Amino acid sequence: MTINEFMTKDHRDCDNQFANLENIVDSGNFDGGKIMFDEFVSHMLKHFKMEEEVMFKEFNDCEGGGCNPTGVMLMEHEQMRNLFNQMQEAIKNNNKEKFLGLSENLLFIMQQHNMKEEQMMYNLADNALNSDEIIEKMKAI
């Protein structure tokens, strides 16, 4: 299995959780939404941790210059973390409109971010690193 395959599957799992979360909040089920939001954010933060502490770190250690997109990826992770915080406040206050507005912003950032990772970052990592070793380290998180 490649890093691209492993991480793309995790993207799809996060995307599915996110779609379910939006549907639950849109239906007005804030109790279920709060639980699902916590699960979704936990999954996303684990995904970020796998990338930041394993793949990006290893890639940066072996990268000899040229195209290195990790800085952009890290900036986008931070943008998403900021949105998570704002969404947390909105769902805590049962503010459906604000939550769904923020979720639209998050969806846009996630789609663009995932495309960059799947089409570029993960392929660069697969070419530069031992994919099996990196996947095992990420699974351990």
* Domains delineated in the chain: 3-139 (1.20.120.520)
Each of the 141 residues of the chain gets a pLDDT tens digit; together they read 999 999 999 999 999 999 999 999 999 999 999 999 999 999 999 999 999 999 999 888 876 555 678 989 999 999 999 999 999 999 999 999 999 999 999 999 999 999 999 999 999 999 999 999 999 999 999
User: Could you tell me the pTM of the whole model?
Assistant: 0.93
Residue 104 is which amino acid? E
Q: What is the pLDDT of residue 67?
A: 62
Residue 65 is which amino acid? G
Q: How far is the C-alpha of 63 from the C-alpha of 9, rounded, in Å? A: 25
**42 CB-side CA count, 13 A:** 6
